[in-house]
Amino acid sequence: MIMKKLLRLGMALLLPVAAVLVVVYKAVNQAPSPELPQYEQVLEIFDEGGCLSCHSADPKLPFYAKLPVAGKVIMKDIDSGYRAYDMTKFMEELKVDGEVSPVDLAKIEKVVLDDRMPMAKYYLVHWGSSLTAAKRAIVLDWIHSRRAEMYNDNLPVSRAAEPVRPIDTYIEYDPAKAELGFDLFHDTRLSVDNTVSCASCHSLSTAGVDNHQYSHGVNDLMGGVNAPTVFNAVYNFVQFWDGRAATLAAQAAGPPVNPVEMASPSFEMIVAKLKSDKKFAKRFNAVYPDGINEANLTDAIEHFERTLLTPGSRFDKWLMGDDAAITPEELEGYELFKKYDCATCHAGQNLGGLSYELMGLRRHYFAERGLELTEEDNGRYKETKQERDRHRFKVPGLRNVEHTWPYYHDGTRHTLEEAVSDMGKYQSGVELTQAEVDKITAFLKTLTGEYQGKPVTTTNSPEDIHGHE
């Protein structure tokens, strides 16, 4: 009898406490006022969610972070969160309703759809951080609205929320400058011994690459990094794997004076060569009144490279509403591509080129690669000297990827199937089945577009290349 009375008393006490807790929980998890601008609603949700507690370089630690056990767990979570995604720039842009990266939108959308963040052990302590259904709806609606504004591509409603978009058929450029740029792109006089041009490593007949693990420069010197494609490079937010060039023009200024690539001692030497060609100089001066100089040479090449778009892929046709453009297997591959977070980095029109990401996010790629580390393996760290940037690289675009082998900055994967399987392992932390690899590979092959009305392809074969590496 005494026990029953105690139980009844306990229940009588617990029920009011539980009711109070429910009321408090609902109170601290209310959605932002609909009277606020949409971006301010989203900002409030992320602020209350404590996103920067893990996804920033300088998080504000709670008092219990100083406790031995709790502190160890917290610091591990913070390290993992920051390693995967730094939200600082995104939050700064959000405060002023500024320009937001498609990658930020894709990453946030995925964790919201999967209900992965915040982690339970976080929101159980910080009640106001819980992402309720109402909050998720606000965030997702804002993401879709920003995409529509960003691309203004009027995709069908069924495709409008996709994290990837069709390639433009035209980007503004100056035709006269582009014509000069085409000639310069193929001009071996940019090299010290007149043997190597830009096209030597980025041939338009081989998908904008050379299909070598490492490119060969003057005197057959070999570089230390795989040459990325020049097709659709205009969509990249920076150029080179390590991002050391902010523009296409800045990128074009690098190889001519690189001692391994074209090895010209200076642009002054290149300028002198070109000026001695009276016919070329006359053409050039008609377009650039201040004549031949480094800035104008690289500007002309940039205008040419702005023309290197490859629209017309089967996947783009599907995005624009043609359901028959891709097969059910290819569509399944695309869904897997999104399911395993591939589209959080390979987003936008070029399916990449918009962020730096860690090579080996879920597993240590370089420890398992079986090769000694090189200077190029440092990636973005080469430029910033920030430890977080070690092994971070600009994400490559995936357009025409079936023809741009070998893959990765180190060119160690010669088949698309190998690359897909490894990306699952090292970046997504999953062991893809062979069926999944086949479907994702099939999807990736739908990304092959057209250049000047003809399908992008390569005249090389893996067998030919492997025999000459």
- For the stretch 106-165, pLDDT in tens is 999 999 999 887 766 665 666 666 788 999 999 999 999 999 999 999 999 999 999 999
- Cα–Cα distance, 235 to 246 (Å, whole number): 12
Indicate if 172 belongs to the active site: no
The model's pTM: 0.90
Q: How many residues does the chain have?
A: 469
Q: Residue 414 above 60 pLDDT?
A: yes
Check residue 400 and give its pLDDT: 98
Give the pLDDT of residue 20.
43
pLDDT of residue 468: 46
| pLDDT value, residue 412 | 96
pLDDT digits (tens, 9 = 90+) for 92-102: 999 999 999 99
DSSP secondary structure letter of residue 371: S
Measured distance CA(308)–CA(303) in Å, rounded: 10
Question: If you write DSSP's letter for every residue of 214-241 in order, what string do you get?
Answer: S-B-GGG-B-SSPPPP-TTGGG-SSBST
The pLDDT value given to residue 467: 44
- Pick 57 or 18 by higher pLDDT: 57
Sequence letter at residue 91: M
- Tell me the two tokens of residue 198: 């830009």
pLDDT at site 236: 98
Give the pLDDT score at 313.
98
- Report angle CA 365, 391, 360 to the nearest 5 degrees: 30
Tokens 């919201």 correspond to 112
- The pLDDT score that the predictor gives to residue 70 is 67
Q: How much of the chain, in percent, has pLDDT values that exceed 70?
A: 89
Residue range 171-186: average pLDDT? Answer: 98
* Residue among 109, 162, 261, 357 flagged as catalytic: 261
Helical segments of 261-347, H only: 267-275, 278-287, 294-305, 314-319, 328-339
| Mean pLDDT lowest among 127-131, 301-305, 414-418 | 127-131
pLDDT of residue 73: 76
Say if residue 43's pLDDT is above 60: yes
